[in-house]
Amino acid sequence: MSEQLFHFVGNGSVTTPAGFRAAGVTAGFKRTGAPDFAMLLSETPAHFAGAFTSCTFAAAPVQLCRKRVLESPRLSAAVINSGNANACTGAPGLANAEETCRLAAEALNLAPETIAVASTGRIGVQLPMDIIARGIRLAAAELSTTGGNAAARAIMTTDTVPKSVAVQFQIGDRTVSIGAMTKGAGMIDPHLQVPHATMLCFITTDADADNELLAEMLGTGVADSFNRITVDGDMSTNDTVLILANGHSGVTIRKGTPEAKLFKSALDTVMRELARRMVADGEGATKFVEVKVVNAPTREDAKLCAEAVANSLLCKTAWFGNDPNWGRVVAALGYSGATFDPNRTDIFYDDMPVVRQGGDAGTREEELADIIRKREFTVLIDLHAGEEEYWVWTCDVSYDYVKINADYHT
């Protein structure tokens, strides 16, 4: 499906789709006084699906949301706090996640099992339930059909900008909207699994679709968006992606139809756009880099190569220093574990040859440096060993990244 069949909505957010309200408030998690608590509400119970971190130390809210996916047919709301991850908090942490749902259910006149929770922030600290209660009280009172962007701001941690997007398209004479918000700038290397990201993403749509179809679409969507990005190679304990579909547009998406193909194309575009924004806003990042491996013997070999280069500290610091040092790229390829012949390998920065058949391509270093100085560029690796390929979006590592993470203490 052509992307021309749908369009981005100016200032779009999770409340662009009909029947959704949201709020972002200051509950008191952050010492700065910045907004730190968000609430998202569907005016009618919504079908839903989720994808979550594959980290063994999954946080309490992730454990609870996995339970919702397995046991609850619909969701009505999500509450999100920024400033405390509620991770590695044991049975008390899980009980606090459940209590958060109970308090929100009471405030919204809903059943607790129709509410999801998500948290981001410092690991290993119990949730201050008095602050949670204050956040729920304030957010419930502020819920609005224009509150999506405020909610996106409230879930930020080290992000420098809120990240919201929405698209719209026609199905028959009906307008369908998909809105989303995400946060994440560090501890970003998601490996999300359905149903079983620190990134958090909440997607809303006023179309309807059953939970099974939503899970299928979400699973393939995250594989080609959030699971293709890395800022620092660290996977979070709290990574969470939720999609809610409330049907307020009057459109139902059914598997195998042209409408499903259009919906999936729009959904994929939303997730890729937010994934791109996360990398561009990576902690201290000054460069956005696509690492693309082509003509690999297997997709797994291509992935191993792309991820090795994208996560290499030596490559990332060279990019920050505007250094075209291709020796760091070939070293990362060499230890990636992929199967390929180094003597057949070519590397390009954008379309400029860097390595030919495993050795120096002869391009002047000054020309290569001009490419590395750009805000965005591509490292293209051609293994000449097959037909498979894989790409990853990454960024550089700067002095500011070290400073942010040395000082970070929510």
| Sign of the torsion angle spanned by Cα atoms 14, 140, 239, 67 | negative
What is the chain's length? 410
Contact 161, 152 (CB under 8 A): no
Q: Which of 396, 381, 199, 163 is nearest to 289 (CA)?
A: 396
Query: CA angle, 274 as apex, 270 and 277 as ends, to 5°?
Result: 145
User: What's the token pair of residue 78?
Assistant: 């999500």
Q: Which of 119, 53, 129 is nearest to 87 (CA)?
A: 119
Contact 246, 214 (CB under 8 A): no
* Helix intervals (H) in 125-210: 129-142, 148-154
Q: Which of 301, 333, 300 is nearest to 314 (CA)?
A: 333
| Alpha-carbon gap, residue 31 to 262, rounded angstroms | 44
The count of other CB atoms within 10 Å of the CB of residue 246 is 24
| Alpha-carbon gap, residue 167 to 127, rounded angstroms | 35
| Alpha-carbon gap, residue 74 to 250, rounded angstroms | 17
User: What's the token pair of residue 351?
Assistant: 């379309």
CA atoms within 13 A on the CB side of 61: 32
Assign 211 to helix, strand or coil: helix
Which residue of the set 15, 53, 158, 198 is catalytic?
198
Contact 261, 97 (CB under 8 A): no
Classify residue 173 by burial, with Cβ atoms within 10 Å: 0-12, 13-18, 19+: exposed
Per the annotation, the verdict on 198 as an active-site residue is: yes
Exposure string (b/e) for 26-46, b if CB count within 10 Å is 16 or more?
bbbbbeeeebbbbbbbbeebb
Give the residue numbers annotated as catalytic, written as ranges.
Answer: 198
